Amino acid sequence: MVRQFILFTVILLTISASIAKANPYDKIRKKMVDKQATDETAALYYNLQKLSKKHILFGHQDATAYGHTWTKGDNRSDVKDVTSSHPAVIGLDFSGLAFAKGERLENEKARLGKLITDTYNRGGVVTMAWHLRNPATEGSFYWEKDPVRGVEQIIPGGVKHDVYKKLLQDIADLAKSLKGKDGKQIPLIFRPFHEFDGDWFWWGKSHCTPQQFTDLWKFTVNYLRDDLKVHTFLYAFSPDCTFNTKAEFLERYPGNDFVDMLGTDNYADMGRDGANYDIAAKKLKIVADVAKSNKKLAAFTETGLESITDSTWFTEKLLPVLRKEKLSLAYVLVWRNASDNPKHFYAPFKGHPAETDFIKFYKNDYILFENELPNLYKIK
């Protein structure tokens, strides 16, 4: 009888081990917002978490869409011009889809689709912001240009709720159409309603209650995931840098069931007048600690020094902040290089005084660019 029990136990363990081996993604999905996430999306979550223990990915907004003084380039970025590699993370934006119709909508889907697909095919990561024009007016995303309380109008029960659902439908249509050369749907980090603790956007803290904000966040996730069947998103929660405590950081947190990644956008402490790099590091530690305690990813979702007026900013300012507290951060992303404004740039271009320092930053073992990435879309 004992031998039979032992044999039965061995068989059960063998079967369990076989199932676990056959489905390595299931364990990861249990930690994620989307329990039906594609294997590639689960693998991205897993690999970003794994890499963050020893490395951080470098990102740049709109890196391959345009750059300093140029608007179109085949497989080009200012970062690649300087280092020979694209950034590991490329930021893009769903904003151009909003309220677009007909040919204009299809053109924007095609533009974003190519940028996203090219990045995925090279092995890079895409994070999507959403500078959404106020659905209550179809005006601006900036409050000062369009001071209308939009959040209360687009949450369930609001007079513009159906308008908002259509905006999400357009995002879902694009997301589900994106496939790489491997035939797989492409994972994206979706970062809606960023910098919500400030007042400059219509979704900012003075323009809606905490309950209205979390209602909006939860509806957005539920509708995309459950109704529109988008299973390729990691959801990122990223206030600006107005917080100084864990409680302040979590003031409008919608809950662990609705967030995969925690981040912060911080320009104020990283180079503008009154910069304080020790405070910047402290705020990153709050983000990373909260993420760790809640088993979430963490990232430095936006930062940078406009015009890079400090030629050693990357190695002597940014790098020490990233490494000061020995944090686990998935990526750091600097803002865009505008093609039509020669003073609005955050990554060096060829001939800029910060070029040498940026190459040194690129060669640092802690920092990963696109050409140094393992396959992020499979679990090994």
Give every CB contact of residue 105 below 8 A, 6+ residues apart in sequence. Answer: 97, 170
Identity (one letter) of the amino acid at 241? C
Amino acid type, 229: K
The neighbouring-strand residues paired with 66 are none
- Active-site option among 302, 316, 355, 370: 302
Q: Map residue 350 onto helix, strand or coil.
A: coil
Catalytic (active site) residue 195: yes
Q: Which of 215, 114, 218, 112 is nearest to 171 (CA)?
A: 112
**Cα–Cα distance between 162 and 271 in angstroms, integer?**
41
Active site residue 316: no
How many Å apart are CA 99 and CA 295, to the nearest integer? 36
Catalytic residue, chosen from 106, 108, 144, 195, is 195
Q: In terms of C-beta density within 10 A (0-12 exposed, 13-18 middle, 19 or more buried), how is residue 139 classed?
A: middle
Instruction: Provide the β-strand partners of residue 258.
Output: none
- From the number of C-beta atoms within 10 Å of its C-beta (0-12, 13-18, 19+), residue 127 rates as buried
Token pair 């140094």: residue: 372
> Any alpha helices (H) in 23-100, and if so which ranges?
26-29, 39-51, 78-83
Residue 127 DSSP one-character state? E
Residues 6+ away with beta carbon under 8 Å from 119: 64, 86, 90, 125, 126
- Rg, C-alpha atoms of the chain: 21
Residues 6 or more apart in contact with residue 189 via CB below 8 angstroms: 125, 126, 127, 128, 233, 234, 236, 261
Instruction: Please classify residue 284 by burial: count the beta carbons closer than 10 Å to its beta carbon, then call 0-12 exposed, 13-18 middle and 19+ buried.
Output: buried
Q: In angstroms, how far is the first alpha carbon of the chain from the final one? A: 40
Contact 258, 235 (CB under 8 A): yes
DSSP type of residue 35: T
Which residues are the active-site residues? Answer: 195, 302
